[in-house]
Amino acid sequence: MILLGVDPGCRFAGFGVIRKEGTLVQLLDHGCLRMSPSKPLSERIALFHDFFQTKIITLHVTHLALETPFLGKNAQNFLKLGYLRGVLYLLAHKHNLNLYEFSPREVKQAVTGFGGASKDQVARIILQLFPRIGSVETEDVSDALAVTLCGLWKEKSIEQLRR
């Protein structure tokens, strides 16, 4: 199983890719896609699509994990996030990926043990779990890695149910 976790955003999109073979879990890739806010939204959406399609193809991704959106104060941002989520849904369908979604509270609960944890607390746990990465460049990356771990743990629980 190779799982891609994404924290989508119109300026910064964090991602993490984990491979699980038996009991071995390996972090294959992680980072942040940066998109200029001065570019038209349609161009950023196309860049987002192409970037993640390339990741899916080159890393042989089989599963995709996303965080459900949180409606904050800005409805326009929520709407734009919906466009990016739609791209990920399309990619999941096109590449026959298993798709998992988690609420922000579920992700925080799974990673830190507390559903109301701060982004900083999530980032600290991520660095403890993946000490070789040294640091995460943005909260988007630590959030994406947390979502990736949720997908990994979800798949593990599904495997146990099948037995």
The structure's pTM equals 0.91
Q: Which helix (H) or strand (E) holds 148?
A: helix 139-162
Relative orientation angle of helices 75-94 and 41-58, to the nearest 10 degrees: 30
Active site residue 29: no
Of the ranges 7-11, 138-142, 158-162, which one carries the lowest mean pLDDT score?
158-162
- Tens-digit pLDDT profile for residues 41-81: 999 999 999 999 999 999 999 999 998 876 666 777 878 88
Token digits of residue 151 = 């997908």
Phi, psi (rounded to 5 degrees) for 10: -80, -15
If one counts the domains in the chain, the total is 1
Both tokens of 88, joined, read 């990920």
Q: Give the Cα separation of 112 and 125 in Å (integer).
A: 7
Torsion angle in degrees (nearest 10) through CA of 136, 140, 145, 146:
120
Provide the residue range defining the domain that includes 8. Answer: 2-162
Determine whether 7 is an active site residue. Answer: yes
Closest alpha carbon to 17 in 54, 49, 59, 51: 59
Q: Find the CATH number of the domain harbouring 41.
A: 3.30.420.10
Spatial strand order in the sheet of 63-67: 24-34, 12-21, 2-7, 63-67, 98-102
Whether residue 101 lies in the annotated active site: no
Q: Residue 139: exposed, middle, or buried by beta-carbon count in 10 A (0-12, 13-18, 19+)?
A: middle
* Rounded-to-integer distance, Cα 19 and Cα 4, Å: 9
- Catalytic residue, chosen from 21, 29, 43, 67, is 67
Residues 6+ apart with CB under 8 A from 50: none
**Per annotation, catalytic residue among 50, 106, 120, 140:** 140
Q: Which residue did the predictor score with more confidence, 126 or 74?
A: 126
Q: What are phi and psi of 64, to 5 degrees?
A: -130, 135
Mean pLDDT for the chain overall: 90
Whether the pLDDT of residue 130 is over 80: the answer is: yes
Q: Among the options 7, 29, 106, 159, which is catalytic?
A: 7
pLDDT in tens, 70-105: 666 677 787 888 999 999 999 999 999 999 999 999
